[in-house]
């Protein structure tokens, strides 16, 4: 018997998050074969300094470790954002002690085309629908107006400012905090047209 290993074949664990389809994007679990593309996109200081945990520089082994560890915890849901089959970023729900938190980044060549908002809305729908979360939180560094705008376009409400540790700068940075309740999201979801296809 020969065993073949298809780097793109989903494992059981990957099947724990569905495939979400939006007007332009397909969101699915990150797989081993995506590590190279993730490393290429995420190895960008402007991404690292605006997220809590992405180191800079970010190499292939960082991406491989990320893919190996992701989507293992109950309530965690990390989606690779793809456009015409090509990875362009990530959007995830992180279950934390103080409540689930949404996070996202988009590769620089794809900024400014509404992809973060489109992906975040799909993942929010999944978090409030399938995962049945009652509320989500999010953060954006105070000098990150693009991320703040994404959150506003998804209905998030500002709740205050906190110092959050940012790995890439090895320091804490003031971060605007936001919250979105399921009730508010349901009243806003006329943007719709997200479907789980698997
Ligand atoms: C933040 C980020 C995800 C946005 O991705 P994107 O696909 O460009 O976002 P969208 O196109 O959906 O929306 C961006 C919005 O911010 C606005 N924006 C962009 N730069 C801005 C600036 N300097 N000042 C004010 N608004 C700005 C855009 O005009 C757009 O709003 P609009 O649709 O009302 O015009 C992307 O820049 C990124 O990955 N940054 C680094 C990582 C990060 O910040 N992650 C979020 C922290 S959890």
Give yes or no for residue 140 CB within 6 A of ligand 1: yes
Q: Residue 7: pLDDT band by 50, 70, 90 thresholds?
A: very low
Q: What's the CATH number of domain 17-191, 1.10.645.10, 3.40.1260.10, 3.40.630.30, 2.160.10.10?
A: 3.40.630.30
Q: If we measure between CA atoms, which residue out of 134, 135, 6, 108 comes closest to residue 49?
A: 108
What's the residue count for the chain?
198
Q: Is the CB of 122 under 6 A from ligand 1?
A: no
- pLDDT above 50 (res 1): no
Domain spans in the chain, listed from the N-terminal domain onward: 17-191
- Residue with the smallest CA separation from ligand 1 atom 15 is 146
What mean pLDDT comes out for the span 52-81? 97
Q: Which pLDDT does position 15 carry in this prediction?
A: 53
Order of all β-strands in the sheet with 195-196: 157-166, 171-181, 135-141, 101-106, 86-94, 77-83, 25-28, 20-21, 195-196
The predicted structure's pLDDT at residue 191: 62
Q: How confident is the model at residue 23 (pLDDT cuts 50, 70, 90)?
A: very high
Q: Identify the band that residue 25 occupies on the pLDDT scale cut at 50, 70 and 90.
A: very high
144 within ligand 1 shell (Cβ under 6 A): yes
pLDDT band for position 197 (50/70/90)? low
Determine whether the shortest distance from the Cβ of 147 to ligand 1 is under 6 A. yes
The rounded percent of the chain whose pLDDT value lies above 70 is 88
| 104-128 pLDDT tens trace | 999 999 999 999 999 999 999 999 9
pLDDT at 49: 98
Q: How many other C-beta atoms are found inside a 10 Å radius of the C-beta of residue 69? A: 11
> What number does the ligand 1 atom closest to the CA of 144 have?
44
Give distance in angstroms: CA of 5 to centre of ligand 1: 38
**What tens digit of pLDDT does each residue of 124-178 get?**
999 999 999 999 999 999 999 999 999 999 999 999 999 999 999 999 999 999 9
Please report the pLDDT score of residue 189 as a whole number. 78
Element (H or E) spanning 68, and its range? helix 60-69
Q: Does residue 100 contact residue 133 with C-beta atoms inside 8 Å?
A: yes
Confidence of residue 3 (pLDDT cuts 50, 70, 90): very low
Report the mean per-residue pLDDT for the chain: 91
What's the pLDDT at 32? 96
Q: Residue 55: what pLDDT?
A: 97
């Amino acid at each position: 018997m020969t065993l073949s290993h298809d780097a793109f074949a989903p494992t059981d664990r990957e099947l724990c998050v569905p495939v979400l389809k939006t007007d332009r994007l397909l969101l699915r679990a990150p797989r081993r074969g995506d590590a190279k593309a993730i490393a290429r996109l995420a190895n960008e200081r402007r991404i690292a300094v605006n997220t809590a945990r992405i180191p800079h520089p970010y190499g292939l082994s960082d991406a491989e470790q990320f893919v190996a560890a992701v989507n293992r915890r109950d309530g965690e849901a990390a989606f690779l954002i793809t456009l015409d089959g090509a990875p362009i970023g990530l959007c995830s729900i992180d279950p934390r002690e103080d409540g689930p938190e949404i996070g996202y980044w988009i590769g620089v060549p794809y900024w400014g085309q509404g992809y973060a908002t489109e992906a975040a809305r799909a993942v929010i729908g999944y978090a409030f629908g399938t995962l049945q979360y009652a509320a989500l939180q999010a953060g954006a560094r105070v000098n990150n107006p693009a991320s703040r705008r994404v959150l506003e376009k998804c209905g998030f409400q500002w709740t205050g400012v906190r110092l959050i540790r940012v790995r890439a700068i090895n320091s804490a940075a003031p971060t605007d905090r936001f919250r979105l309740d399921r009730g508010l999201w349901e009243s806003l979801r006329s943007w719709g047209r997200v479907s789980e296809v698997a």
